[in-house]
Structure 1
Amino acid sequence: MNRVPVLALISLALFSVCHAEPWPQFRGPHGNGIAAHSVLPAKLDQSTVKWETAIPGKGWSSPVVWDKLIWLTTAAEDGTTMSVIAVDRSTGKVVRDILLLENEEPRFCHPTNSYASCTPVVTSDRVYVHFGSYLTACLDSTTGKELWRRTDVECDHFRGPASSPILHDGKLIVAFDGVDQQFVVAFDAETGETVWQTDRQIDYGTDEGDWMKAYGTAHAITINGQPQVISPSASAAIAYEPKSGRPLWSIQYGGMNASARPIYSDGLLFLINGMGNMVAAQPGEDGLFSGDRIAWSAKTAVAKKASPIIHNGILYMNSDDGIISARTAATGEILWRKRVGREFAASPVMAGQYIYFFGGGGDIITIKPGSNEEPIAQTNLGDGFMASPAVVDNEIILRSRTKLYCLTQLD
């Protein structure tokens, strides 16, 4: 009997198990949309659907996963109710549907947004949910019991909230970039008390509040031993000292409605301003940011909403108008670009050897990283994707406008 293939399969299985990570926040454990050790089919279609579950209400928040449970938020389309849902990852069964808030007079939300667009954060024993100025809350992830809530942090989101929180060093950090005021808050993750709150110090170049709003999610990095939380906003991104909220440096890049999460790779920080402009720059240290640290900027084939993927020095992106592209991360040089769909809002993910893009009309495009621009698979599933997916083990957890899917290799 030839034991080598059997042992190889066992080793591969053990390797996958040992390297399985939860997907605890927007864009995964490292905030970059990559699940390096997952093994998934190139073609994602109905034949790869392990289960699908209808999700009530409307929400663009991404699913987050810890162990056997998937968590996501939803809301009534008119914003009168806001809830969090837990789904069994094995079966797709909804095991918790917790009503968190009822609103008699919800403020306006743009139809392309939702009242539940902020992605939760989950740990082994907690789930943190955020609905902008309406509610921030912490629940016991085992019992569903609410541990604390905050409804007193106010701003006028004008077109609805969408910034997701991050958990860093015992603090839940989230941006409130409204039309009336703009600031970043760190809540104590255990108690919900405010650790610090820092107003934005940005020259927006206007007094019109619509140009001051944003939907960005922060990203924590360390530069020369100094922890920093990079928080994008309208017109600029600011780095904060996590323990105090003290601004460390900032970079102006113009624009409004910034929603892409920053990525830090090979000494460069990649920022998208919400209006189709991108900059790559060396992060600053304590003090003002210098413009000569900008390595490159680009306005061609740049997303307005989605965050990119960076792999082996190449940056992959889907733009809002249906174009996917690859460019050299160090220089910004476009290697290729190709129109493949109608529109994109969700951020792509890389799982194992493939990168997947998810369109607002239900398109799923698969490419293999490298210089080849031709997709290796192009399918359509469901009623369109606004939420970015999660990847755990060898499964993609994908939220459409009305359903939650688990996709995997079923053969």
Structure 2
Amino acid sequence: MFTAHAGNRTWRFALLLALSSILVSGLPVKLRVLQSAEPLAAEGIVGVPEGTIAATDWPWWRGPHRNGIAPASARPPVEWSESKNLLWKTPIPGRGHSSPTVVGKRVFLTTADEVKKRQLALCFDRATGKLLWQVQLHQGGFDHNNKKNSFASSTIACDGQRLFVVFWNQGAIWTTALDLQGERLWQVKVADFVSHQGYSASPVIYQNLVVVAADSKGKGTSCLLAMDRQTGKEVWQIKRPKMPNYVSPIIFKLAGKDQLLMAGCELMSGFDPRTGKVIWECPGSTTECVGSVVASQGLVFASGGYPKHETLCVRADGSNEILWRNRVKVYVPSLLAYQGYVYAVTDNGVTYCWEARTGKEMWKDRLPGGFSA
């Protein structure tokens, strides 16, 4: 997401990242997408019952397959303006960096009013942009945040019946379940949380669970927590190193197993999403990461930004084999794995393409400006 300020109101728009073109400051920058002779097998929507979401939904962070790739049938515009390819726009109170969640005829979004110290969930009509409802989940309790972050950076996850909304408030991470009309079903304190940069991790849905990350430093309770989607009751919890980290948990099927993947805290990790047990874990990445892990062909790719600069590839079969690594810093943006190649846009605006299995650099280009999406 990006924000554009107009007077004392903030307008937010979905930033569509098409593989053929990225628009930065209104300038089209062509990205070369290399075709693989042996396309990677597409991972399924792991842990989600059939019929839960439709092919046209974008129900959680990074889309239905959790990899940032839209269905082949999608035809998003690669450029737009006030007079071109604009169906509707609507004002949003406050400021936030969460992505829109699109399910059925509705669009769900979080925002934070930093003046009135309110954190909200919003619902819009998908066809018209009309505000259908908004609900305040927290009042007050705002802490220090990085100026590039917001107090509404976690994307809502929807299982077709409930919305799972995560906020950092009053020194803790909170998960709230709402029904599709905005009525509160339950609210759980995930963990005490201490951070100098803020919070950005989005929840992930798996079978009957919703999983939330809270990698925290200092007096925080650094953990991964799985809750029952219907009740909010804790099902399992994993203790994590007490280090600041901002990665959203992601689930793929790799090496014949469903795996919940995390990077950061000086670790690359694969967990069993049913139980929280470690499947594999190895030193890698760096302390602070923001972008989500991506995976293909049994390989996991991650990058981080502080204190080390590193992008790396790990085999997810329990061997802990690191196939390749480089010193490219992709701190805030997430990687993209597509048809045998890994794509990245660095925070300082350089695009890269690497061969997935070898890490060989295929090309790189510079965008006109920095990049934090």
Counterpart of 1:398 in structure 2 is: none
Q: Is residue 159–residue 205 contact of structure 2 (8 Å, CA) maintained in 1?
A: no
Match of 1:139 among 175, 178, 187: 178
5 Å-filtered alignment, 1:138-287, equals 138-141=177-180, 143-151=181-189, 153-180=191-218, 181-200=221-240, 202=241, 212-275=243-306, 276-285=309-318
Q: Deviations over 1:48-100 (max 9, x none)?
A: 11111111111111111101111111112268211101111101111111111
CA distance in 2, matches of 1:167, 1:263: 17
CA distance in 1, matches of 2:161, 2:285: 40
Counterpart of 1:32 in structure 2 is: 67
Deviation at 1:147? 0.4
Counterpart of 1:58 in structure 2 is: 95
Q: Which amino acid is the alignment partner of residue 149 of structure 2?
A: N
Counterpart of 1:73 in structure 2 is: 110
Deviation at 1:152? 5.8
Q: Is residue 239–residue 248 contact of structure 1 (8 Å, CA) maintained in 2?
A: yes
SS across alignment from 2:87:
strand
Q: Quick one: higher RCO (CA 8 Å, sep 6+), 1 or 2?
A: 1
1:79–1:192: structure 2 CA closer, same or farther, 3 Å change rule? Answer: farther
Q: If the length of structure 1 is used for normalisation, what is the TM-score? A: 0.72
1:233–1:255: structure 2 CA closer, same or farther, 3 Å change rule? Answer: closer
Structure holding more helix per residue = 1
Unmatched 5+ stretches in structure 2? 1-52
Q: Deviations over 1:149-182 (max 9, x none)?
A: 0136322133321111100111111111111242
5 Å-filtered alignment, 1:48-127, equals 48-77=85-114, 80-103=117-140, 105-127=141-163
Counterpart of 2:325 in structure 1 is: 297
Q: Which amino acid is the alignment partner of residue 342 of structure 1?
A: G
Q: Is residue 285–residue 311 contact of structure 2 (8 Å, CA) maintained in 1?
A: no
CA distance in 1, matches of 2:344, 2:289: 15
Q: Which amino acid is the alignment partner of residue 26 of structure 1?
A: W
Q: If the length of structure 2 is used for normalisation, what is the TM-score? A: 0.79
CA distance in 2, matches of 1:81, 1:213: 24
Q: Is residue 254–residue 298 contact of structure 2 (8 Å, CA) maintained in 1?
A: no
CA distance in 2, matches of 1:20, 1:252: 37
CA distance in 1, matches of 2:257, 2:187: 31
SS across alignment from 1:53:
coil
Q: Does structure 1 residue 338 correspond to structure 2 residue 361?
A: no
Identity within the alignment, %: 29
* Residues paired across the two proteins, number: 312
CA distance in 2, matches of 1:233, 1:113: 18
Q: Is residue 191–residue 222 contact of structure 2 (8 Å, CA) maintained in 1?
A: no
Unmatched 5+ stretches in structure 1? 1-17, 203-208, 347-411
Q: Does structure 1 residue 44 correspond to structure 2 residue 77?
A: no
Counterpart of 1:22 in structure 2 is: 57
CA distance in 2, matches of 1:156, 1:249: 27
Deviation at 1:224? 4.1
Q: Is residue 234–residue 273 contact of structure 1 (8 Å, CA) maintained in 2?
A: no
Q: Is residue 260–residue 274 contact of structure 1 (8 Å, CA) maintained in 2?
A: no
Q: Is residue 57–residue 76 contact of structure 1 (8 Å, CA) maintained in 2?
A: yes
Aligned CA-pair RMSD: 2.0
CA distance in 2, matches of 1:59, 1:49: 21
CA distance in 1, matches of 2:65, 2:359: 23
Q: Is residue 194–residue 217 contact of structure 2 (8 Å, CA) maintained in 1?
A: yes
Q: Which amino acid is the alignment partner of residue 299 of structure 1?
A: R
